[in-house]
Each structure stands twice: as C-alpha cells, then as structure tokens.
Amino acid sequence: MAFDVLASLQAVQSHVKGSGHVTECLIGEPTQPVDSGDRPFAAVWMTSADVYQLTAGGQLRESHVLLLRLHKTMFGDPTMETETELAQAVQEVLADILADQTLGSEIMSLDPGGIGGTSLSTRWGEVQVSSTMYRVADITLPFLVDGSATLS
C-alpha cells in the first residue's frame, strides 16, 4: 500500500501557515528553538495512516492522523498571558480547519468524531527544545483521505 502522507502533511502545513494565527508551521518536530516573537509557532507530523474502508472498485479510503503542535515560549511558570494566547491560537486554528475540512487537497474531510478510529482532540503540556521551554497544545487531527492508493 502506498499512503500519500506527504500530501496530507503539506496540506496542513500550508493551511496553518497561511492562516496568520502562527508565525511558522514546520513539518517535523523542531530540534532547535524557533524565534517566533510574541506569537505561537506550529509543527506538524504524522502519527498514523490506516485503511478504514475498501470500495468495490478497489480504492482504499484512509485515515491520516496528524499531530499539530502549537508552541508558545514560556518564561518561567506558565502565565495567564501565555495560556490565554495559546488558547486563542488553538481556537483560531481549529475554527479555520473546521471551516475548510478538505484543506483544498486530497483530503476528503476532517474526521472530528473519529469514524476512522481517532477523534479530534487537544492535549496541553510543556516541552523543552534545546534550552527553551514552550507551553504547547497538541492537536490531534484525523482526516479521511480518498484515493491515496488503489488495490489492483
């Protein structure tokens, strides 16, 4: 099976980068701190790609699950400002993705309810990249993808 996960990654990256809600959207986890000023930056990577349906014509319908991590630089303990700015960025990014569920790509739709096995969710935490601490929101984005591969 040939999953076209790169197209899904690029669709999310392009959409989030173009939204104006973050300064940058990288593919893959950053290994060095990103200077994003006062605004959050994002990184996206795949967590899984699965077949959830096979059509009568042999076309596979897939679930591509991506993790979109929004980062906000922390200076000491999380402050109300850090938390509220990150919460606002999460709300804006999710509102944009929910409004355009195909992201103008091969993606058939966002799968917020988890028909393909994983539902839309957000988890909060902190990560350290090199010597910089970030408050992060990990958004699990499950997409239903049509026609990435066909059995013959």
Whole-Å CA distances, 68 to 16, 53, 60, 75, 92:
9, 25, 25, 22, 13
Element of type H or E holding 133: strand 132-150
What pTM was estimated for this model as a whole? 0.89
Residue 133 · residue 36 · CB < 8 Å:
no
pLDDT at 102 over 90: no
* Spatial separation of the C-alpha atoms in residues 150 and 60, rounded to whole Å: 6
Domain count, the chain: 1
For the chain, what percent of residues have pLDDT higher than 90? Answer: 57
**pLDDT (average), residues 116-141:** 94
- Main-chain dihedrals φ then ψ at residue 28, nearest 5 degrees: 100, 160
CATH code, domain carrying 55: 3.30.2000.30
Query: Between 11 and 56, whose confidence is greater?
Result: 11
Query: Residue type for 102, please?
Result: T
pLDDT at 93 over 80: yes
**pLDDT (average), residues 100-112:** 82
pLDDT digits 0-9 by tens, 18-63 = 989 999 999 999 999 888 778 899 999 999 998 888 888 777 888 9
* Paired tokens of 67: 């993790």
Which domain range does residue 50 map to? 5-150
pLDDT at 2 over 70: no
